[in-house]
């Protein structure tokens, strides 16, 4: 993950990524555009979701 920004205002959004999730922080209290806010994310490679990895590495308790 390289960067994230609000598309309407070009304001940078803080990104925290770990092995299992991506968190966006520093978002404004009021959305800059209505009815949908778009966040532009620049990745350092092709995005990929590996659900088998998640199931093996992060078991769900009581499920």
CA diameter of the chain: 43
Are 40 and 15 within 8 A, CB to CB? no
What local confidence, expressed as pLDDT, does residue 6 receive? Answer: 95
What local confidence, expressed as pLDDT, does residue 63 receive? Answer: 61
For residues 25, 29, 31 and 35, what is the CA-based torsion angle, rounded to 10 degrees?
A: 110
Whole-angstrom CA distances from 45 to 1, 6, 14, 36, 40 are 8, 20, 19, 26, 15
Enumerate residue ranges in the chain where pLDDT < 70.
54-55, 59, 62-63
Helix (H, G, I), strand (E, B) or coil at 40: strand
């Amino acid at each position: 993950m390289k960067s994230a920004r609000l598309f309407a205002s070009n304001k940078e959004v803080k990104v925290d990524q770990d092995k299992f999730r991506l968190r966006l922080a520093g978002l404004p209290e009021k959305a800059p555009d209505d009815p949908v806010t778009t966040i532009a994310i620049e990745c350092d490679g092709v995005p990929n979701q590996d659900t088998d990895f998640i199931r093996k590495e992060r078991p769900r308790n009581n499920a």
